[in-house]
Amino acid sequence: MEAENHDEAGASATQMSRRRFLRATGSVALLASSSGVLAACGSASSPGGGGKKVGLLLPSYTERRWRVGDQAFFESEAKKLGLTVHTQVANDDETVQANQADNLLSEGVDVLVIASVNVDTSKTIVQKAKAQGVAVVSYNFLIADAAIDAAVGRDDTRVGTDLATAAVKAVPKGNYVLVLGDQGTSVARRKAAGKMAVLKPRIAAGDIKVVSERFTKDWDPDLAQKQVENALTANRNDVAAVLASNDTMAYGAIQALRAQGLTGKVFITGEDAEVDALREIKQGTLSVSSFTPFKQMGIAAARVAAQLAAGKAVTAPGTIDNGAKKVPYVNIAAENVTKENLDAFVRANPWWVTPAQL
């Protein structure tokens, strides 16, 4: 749990790179329909059932999950619980998010739920909130060394472990390329640690050789594509698996492999199970993508916020130590989506994807 910190220009570049990929695969129309709100993602507001007020701070709409999953289900559940929700979206700009937090605090919110653009700058938001007696929930990304009241997220190390386990099961020997996320985020580091925990024994045994391992600034698909292209050149196309840490970078890897006629012949991982990634899984060009039930995350966070707004102790299955203290923690388990379980996944998540979209 931590912020995948992109600046606004980086987010725009990612969108353009994804658009180029989707144009090559005939999916531009879907991108436009699913992310057309990007140009207007400054703020949104959802009236609840009155009473206590909750501020929901989201990093952006760059990823479809924030609007379709987290926000939609947080707001719906909060309304059922009698809360008024004020949602702000920061366009991946930490300064914008800080200003949005100031505005919400001045409006007298009782709870802030923060999906940080940058967890370091979010510490100041937490300090200001606590000085005004406002409870804080750290959402998706863990704000370390701050007096948060609760956290809701996933186990990023486990995500890395699950993806690497799927890879070694399918391809137990050969050359591996590790396309890791932005090293400035603990999300990327934890996913990398999870992958290496699985790979190290195989590397030591001589079964697997990591021929390229690189953290990718801003999770940039163009940089991911270049890394895979270079690995293919250096190893004469002898690559068995590419472990990319999210779907966007997996798209870059697929582009590199497509240029060499290797799509479907190399095991590739992703994360988020975006609709376009699911299409690649169906076609056999992406092997697996990890999916976090954002619906469950949003609902769980709304329930935690309602307890805090009512001045009650948070009911959570566990705790997490953020460096300042142990706080109540709701851990939402992720799952791997593959071609084998794709149909079942689609049936179970009609809010996320429909058969017609695939």
Give the pLDDT of the chain (358 residues) as one tens digit per residue: 543 333 333 343 444 444 445 444 444 333 333 333 333 333 344 444 448 999 999 998 878 899 999 999 999 999 999 999 999 999 888 999 999 999 999 999 999 999 998 888 999 999 999 999 999 999 998 899 999 999 999 999 999 999 999 999 999 999 999 999 877 666 788 899 999 999 999 999 999 999 999 999 878 899 999 999 999 999 999 999 999 999 999 999 999 999 999 999 999 999 999 999 999 999 999 999 999 999 999 999 999 999 999 999 999 999 999 999 999 999 999 999 999 999 999 999 999 999 999 9
Give the dihedral of Cα atoms 318, 71, 132, 303; nearest 10 deg: -40
Asked if residue 16 is part of any domain, the answer here is no
CATH number at residue 276: 3.40.50.2300
Give yes or no: residues 227 and 258 share one domain.
yes
Give yes or no: residues 320 and 348 share one domain.
no
Spatial contact of 32 and 115, defined as CB atoms under 8 Å apart: no
Give yes or no: residues 300 and 206 share one domain.
no
110 vs 55, 156, 188, 263, 352, CA distance in Å? Answer: 8, 29, 32, 51, 30
| Secondary structure string (H, E, C) spanning 79-120 | HHCCCEEEEEECCCCHHHHHHHHHHHHHCCCCEEEECCCCHH
Domain containing residue 264? 156-291+337-357
Asked if residue 129 is part of any domain, the answer here is yes
Distance CA 283, CA 339 (A): 9
Asked if residue 20 is part of any domain, the answer here is no
Spatial contact of 205 and 197, defined as CB atoms under 8 Å apart: no
Distance CA 87, CA 42 (A): 10
Distance CA 151, CA 301 (A): 8
Give yes or no: residues 107 and 207 share one domain.
no
CA angle, corner 297, sides to 306 and 310, nearest 5?
Answer: 5
Give the dihedral of Cα atoms 110, 129, 300, 270; nearest 10 deg: 150
Give yes or no: residues 147 and 125 share one domain.
yes
